[in-house]
Amino acid sequence: MNLYAIRAIYVFEMSRTFRTLLQSIVSPVISTSLYFIVFGAAIGSRITEIDGIPYGAFIIPGLLMLTMLTESISNASFGIYMPKYSGTIYEVLSAPVSGLEIVIGYVGAAASKSIILGVIILITARAFVDYEIAHPFWMLSFLVLTALTFSLFGFILGVWADSFERLQLVPMLIVLPLTFLGGSFYSITMLPPFWQTVTLFNPVVYLISGFRWAFYGSGDVGLGISLGMTFGFLALCIAALVYIFKTGYRLKV
């Protein structure tokens, strides 16, 4: 494995983050803090508890997942789309670097940015609400797994997109609504039975539920189901990437 190539791609992508620190780190943290103020303080004063958890603490896993999903997809998709847009992707493809090494470099950098951002948001949340993490190992596992999975998904979107409009299409019109409707700010048990059943078709429900279980020991679905759905989506992303590099789909054309 060409570790020098992986390191070069990874360092380049990470350095881009620090060159755009306000956009990459500060802006998402401020946006999430506003959610804490609006939902935690304003709405939290009317909704005291959900499943025995103070509302301000209850929304932390959902808000963290909301930010991580959007940022993982955005970082990874933009990271591979810009070389395609500028034409520099051909330099990477003609170098002695395999598809696996390219993916590790780009996706590893995008996932690292999301993990750093997630940790910063967790620290920032302390300024707004007290919370406890019942299962730190599982919390970190879900944090890393979510960042990795949706960075892979973002990489696929970046390869698929042929314009900046398409680059934003899936995150804004599909992923963001699914996250809001996936139990970020409420428990799906609060819904009527019919809508509970409909909500279970939303894959984001399983991510948020598993993450919330890691925090508070309770979730809308079981931990095993949450992990199974997450690993299933990860496997689909890996299969799609194998196809992309095997056929050169929208990379070599």
> Residues for the chain: how many in total?
253
For residues 143 and 230, give the distance between their C-alpha atoms in angstroms, rounded to a whole number.
12
115's tokens: 């993990």
What does the pLDDT read at residue 154? 92
What does the pLDDT read at residue 148? 93
What does the pLDDT read at residue 236? 92
**Listed residue (227, 13, 30) closest to 124, CA to CA:** 30
Q: What is the pLDDT along the chain (253 residues), one digit of tens a residue?
A: 778 888 988 998 888 878 877 777 888 888 888 887 777 666 666 677 787 888 888 888 888 888 888 889 988 998 888 888 887 888 887 888 888 888 899 999 999 999 999 999 998 888 888 888 889 999 999 899 999 999 999 999 988 988 888 888 888 888 888 888 888 888 888 888 888 888 888 888 998 999 999 998 888 888 888 889 889 999 999 999 888 888 878 776 5
Q: Which helix (H) or strand (E) holds 191?
A: none
Q: How far is CA 28 from the centre of its chain?
A: 12
Under a CB-based contact definition with an 8 Å cutoff, are residues 63 and 180 in contact?
Answer: no
Lookup result for tokens 């791609």: 9
164's tokens: 């900046």
Helix, strand, coil shares of the chain as percentages rounded to 5?
A: 75, 0, 20
Q: What is the pTM of this model?
A: 0.88
Residue 3 CB neighbours (<10 A):
9
What does the pLDDT read at residue 19? 80
What does the pLDDT read at residue 152? 93
**Listed residue (243, 210, 236, 204) closest to 224, CA to CA:** 210
